[in-house]
Amino acid sequence: MNCEAFQKRIPAYVEGHLSAEERAECDAHVPECLACARRVRESSRLRGALRGLPRMNPPEALQVQLHVMASRERVRYLRNRNWASRLAYWGSVARLMADNLMRPLLVPLTGGVATALFLFGGLVPSLNQQRIVENDVPLRLFEHAAVEAMPDFASRQPLDDLLVEVLIDNQGRLVNYDVRVGEMDADLGNMLLFTTYSPARMFGQPMRGRILLRRSRIVVKG
């Protein structure tokens, strides 16, 4: 037996897994080759050191993870086996997604439709009843915020074109403003502060609104 063939059998020789004939050939080769004998001793020491290490127990979740991985691989194999299995898999995925999307919406949608039908059924009898009242004042559904009164301050500087957007709260008070055209000055600030506003209204209820105030320069040529 040459060294190359013996070195391939060193692990099995050290572990005692060779047949009687092969082990006899190895026993005859070891005394004749110092390099192979040294490798046998190193393998024996390594084997003893490994056997002396404490045994590590696998984590309990490892078995579950291995089962899950095996199940996924089996599903992947069955899914990609042929075109029919692929179509069946994607069909089941589509049905599952549709079920998950529609189930949370089904109960609120059914309740909303039932409520709408109930309210509509209660309003239908009153649609034909028209009550005419003399001197009735027509109501507007929505009224924009407006300016009730604006002070007339004398400007100390030449009058320039101005465009200001004013935000009014539901009490008719100035909340904020944005100068779109022109520059902010003392006259403009006094005008905004001392102007009286009326809030916007929705079904007669006051609410926030916006007003665009414009001040234009008038040039008279004589």
Q: Is residue 72 part of a domain?
A: yes
| Pair 65, 35: CB distance under 8 Å | no
Closest CA to 143 of 204, 195, 197: 204
CATH number of the domain enclosing 205: 3.30.2420
Confidence of residue 222 (pLDDT cuts 50, 70, 90): very low
Query: So what's the pLDDT on residue 154?
Result: 43
How many independent structural domains does the chain possess?
3
Range of the domain at 30: 3-48
Considering the entire predicted model, what is its pTM? 0.34
Q: Is residue 86 part of a domain?
A: yes
Q: For the packed helices 60-79 and 83-127, what is the interaxial angle rounded to 10 degrees?
A: 90
Q: Is residue 19 part of a domain?
A: yes
Closest CA to 15 of 23, 4, 25: 23
Confidence of residue 124 (pLDDT cuts 50, 70, 90): low
Q: Is residue 57 part of a domain?
A: no
Give 135-155 pLDDT, tens digit per residue: 555 556 778 888 888 776 544
Coil, strand, or helix at residue 119?
Answer: helix
Q: Is residue 184 part of a domain?
A: yes
